Chains A and B, each alone.
Chain A
Amino acid sequence: MPAIRSAKTRKPPPDGFDDIEDTLLEFSNKMKDAENASHEGRKKHEMQWPIFQITHQRSRYIYELYYEKEAITKRLYDWLLKNGYADANLIAKWKKQGYEKTKETNFNSTCVCRVPRKQLKEDQEIECVSCGCRGCCSSD
């Protein structure tokens, strides 16, 4: 039987976690609000959109801290990924050319935010089913 890890016995997070703790706490509060938001009058997939957005923001925050601002250590970064603060698969996408800012890991297909503005028709209203993106052409 594995040891039960309570708050009392947990290992302390790596150095530098104190700095970003407040921001991460804010994200988790937002996430809780999004999870508990009322679903009335909204489509089932629409309910997921804020959750995708928050996940994206939080992953982006950690990604930038590690890769662009180089403010956190490898150890802390790994710890954050392991503990679910950031989505490793999403970050893996951002490292690919052409996917630098994509909003989500669109399974087996491409998010509309990767479709160039030119290729969209004039009055085409598209919202990505997963994340609600209307085509931000983020990597144009």
Chain B
Amino acid sequence: MSGPLPPGWTQHTAPTGHAYYYNAETKHSTYTRPTLQPPPPPIAALTQPLHYNPEQNVISPEFLAATTHHAINYGGHVPSAYQSGYPHQHIQEPRDLRGRGGFRSGRDGFDRRRQLEDRPKSKHTLPGCEPWVLVKTKLGRRFVHNTETNESLWRFPDNVRHGVTEFDRLEREREVGKEGTGANDVPLGTKRQKTEEEMQREDEEALAAELAQEAEKAGEAAEGDMVTVAPRPSFAPAPAVNRGQEAGDSSSEYEEIEVTDDEGEEDGADPKSAEATDNPPAAETGPVEFNEDDIAYQLAAMGADYGLDPGEYDDGNGAEGWEDGAEGLPLTEEDSTALFRDLLDDYGVDPYTLFDRVVEDGQIIEDERYTTLETMRARREVYDAWAKDKMAVLKAQREKQMKLDPRIPYLAFLEQHATPKLYWPEFRRKFKREPEMKSTAVSDKDREKLYREHITRLKLPPSTLKSDLSTLLKSIPLALLNHSTPLAALPPQMLTDIRYISLPPATRDPLIVAYISTLAPPPADGSALSAEEEAAQAKEHVERLKRDQALEERKNRVEEEKRKQERERAHGRGRLREEEREIRKAMVVGKGGLRSYLQEAVADDVSEREERETVVLEPV
């Protein structure tokens, strides 16, 4: 806090007590004290919308408190400039427009907005973007923070975004316990973002129309009270922007959350802010003309003060103007069925179990997707259909798969445990609990035969065993064993042969590797089928992501509805408290009040008596 300000900059104090600086020429306001260096280029300003006091820890609560009101506006109440940290101090609050419902007029300090403050909750490292960490907040929002430069951004920079997508993918995989679904994530992210933006724009337009109408209606009333505004930082946070954002902020992870802070937003890179700042560029410090937008904005802010939603105050166009709430579920029947099937797939439910059993286990009940179908009967039907399909798929898979010889695990077991010191009955007794010894696939007679053979071969000299192994290797055709065969995927013909396990792996494996390296590459095969399959898989993946998105949207709507109800309840409670206080005030009669009341009564009495006396006296 030293050094003179560069020319053109002035210092002001925000209602929250923060000092901020305003440049009347560039209409740029910032919390950081500008020095004599040239101001940051607009691109930097765009990518650093929250360049807020970089000396201190950026994710401190004050930081969030200061940004929350701008960034997200829960449940559609509008960030009123005078109450959040927005440097907009010259507006007079139109107090006389408040009715008696204005319960948060500041007397009791009951501030609903306090409850909505956000706090950082958890920190995650981003793989591949080292100094950056992803911070999640209490309200489920996310931002990235650079631990080296102490920079925090709601909008993920491009180089960090893929780190975030990667992180999300990992997280999802961890949740699902499934691998290899991340291939299409990045295109999806951008696609989502696009749709999100479209949604926002629609919302915004509808809201703008509504507000304009409202402004016409209440314009005269408001205009009388509002004094013209002195230096006005360069944007008007149109409520529509915040509403759209609120609808989207938790649904899409990659969406660029626009933080309508008061710096760096003027370069019009965003269609929203461009639309919002359509008021003409005013003269330096002179009074700004009050246009319709402003009035609409003021009205919305007033509405927020009353604790009203844009839809709550009575305007001409009713409900269709603003966002349709959670009344209509966006999921179609098909979607919910498919979601339920996804759920069953994800939890790896065994299709051969009974549905009751699956429900009893209770894993799937916890999942969000379980509720997409409403009745148990519907769930059961879907489960049956799913089980049927799944069984068919499993059957096909099994047929396609080369049938694993049951002797392979048994031979591997022998290789580990068989010694010439044990006779077959002893060996069998010792390992009778092992699954290889219990399985019904290999008969006991065969097991015994293999064991005896193996033991006799173990007693042979190693040179014989080696030559046997080489004859075995040579007997296998090139299609099965070739240059590109890994050691872990040897053909079953080899694995079922007793000659393969006779040598210990330490001497055997180098021999096999050496032999394989001398072989020719595999004969060419067509892989057209796999390409087709891949396409089908990709398609399925896309469809599935779409459904997940729909579910997410539904969840958001429900949450929003909940929040709205909560707010209404809080509002009602506040109002009730107010009324109670008024009643109490009316009931309480202070000492002085009582005395004065009594005095009045006495005075009345006296005067009456006097009157009477005079009346009495008169005839005398």
Contact = CB atoms under 8 A, between A and B. Distances in A.
Chains A and B are bound partners: yes
Given A23-B357, A26-B357, A71 B440 contact: no
A22 B388 contact: no
Interface in B429-454: 440-441, 443-444
Given A69-B391, A70-B388, A70-B392, A13 B440 contact: yes
A19 B352 contact: yes
A20 B357 contact: no
A13 B357 CA distance: 24
User: B351, B357, B440: which has the most chain A beta carbons within 10 Å?
Assistant: B440
Nearest to A26: B357
A61 B392 CA distance: 17
Contact of A23 (B354, B384, B388): B354
Nearest to B442: A12
B357 A9 contact: no
Contacts of B350: 19, 22
Contacts of A123: none
A12 B441 contact: yes
B121 interface: no
A22 B352 CA distance: 9
A23 B444 contact: no
Interface string A10-54: 101100000110110010000000000000000000000000000
Contacts of A23: 352-354, 357
B395 interface: yes
B247 to A, nearest CB: 43
A118 interface: no
B112 to A, nearest CB: 54
A23 B355 CA distance: 11
Interface in B463-519: none
A68 interface: yes
Contact of A71 (B352, B353, B444): B352
A8 interface: yes
Interface in B381-421: 384, 387-388, 391-392, 394-395
A12 B440 CA distance: 5
User: B352, B388, B391: which has the most chain A beta carbons within 10 Å?
Assistant: B352
Contacts of B352: 19-20, 22-23, 65, 71
A15 B353 CA distance: 17
A20 B354 CA distance: 10
Interface of B: 350-354, 357, 384, 387-388, 391-392, 394-395, 440-441, 443-444
Interface of A: 8-10, 12-13, 19-20, 22-23, 26, 57, 61, 64-65, 68-71
